[in-house]
Amino acid sequence: MKIGIACDHGGLSLKATVKAILAKENEVLDFGTDSEASVDYPDCAAPALKALKSGEVERLVLICGTGIGMSIAANRVAGVRATLVHDSYTARMSREHNDSNCLVLGARTTGVAVAEEIVAIWLKTAFEGGRHQQRLD
Ligand code: RB5
């Protein structure tokens, strides 16, 4: 699958780790940022969200300091189901119940080992459909 990734300066420290996990079995498109220079998260998210909306990428991972700003920006885009995930349970539920197509992480709130676990679960867990599809519709 083709997956996009983007972060702001607050998320940069986690991006390489997440990218390496994604790249094991997927094609990864990196939309930046690539420096510690302060940037605005909506600007970092915009090209990546455009790629998700157009189908250029099937899924997207966004990272900022807390994950909150990126979540707000992402969920303004129709068709994007962005889920701010903090643990393995919410990672699983975000896929099974919410059909998350955009995983959001906070680099300042989630440790590397937990983030690795979250990404692995989010990648492999299928959407349950049924009553959850009805709710999404
Ligand atoms: C940047 O300092 C920080 O505000 C941003 O990464 C994010 O946490 C916003 O929600």
Q: What is the distance between the alpha carbons of residues 14 and 6, in angstroms, rounded to a whole number?
A: 11
DSSP assignment of 25-75 equals TSEEEE----SSS---HHHHHHHHHHHHHHTSSSEEEEEESSSHHHHHHHT
- The residues annotated as belonging to the active site are 64, 97
Q: Which helix (H) or strand (E) holds 105?
A: strand 102-106
Return per-residue pLDDT of the chain as tens, 137 residues.
Answer: 999 999 999 999 999 999 999 999 999 999 999 999 999 999 999 999 999 999 999 999 999 999 999 999 999 999 999 999 999 999 999 999 999 999 999 999 999 999 999 999 999 999 999 999 999 99
Ligand 1 pocket, CB under 6 A: 8, 10, 41, 64-66, 68-69
d(CA 115, CA 23): 15
85 in Cβ contact with 118 (< 8 Å) = yes
pLDDT of residue 5: 98
Mutate-to-test residue for ligand 1 from 41, 62, 63, 71, highest number of ligand atoms within 8 A of CB? 41
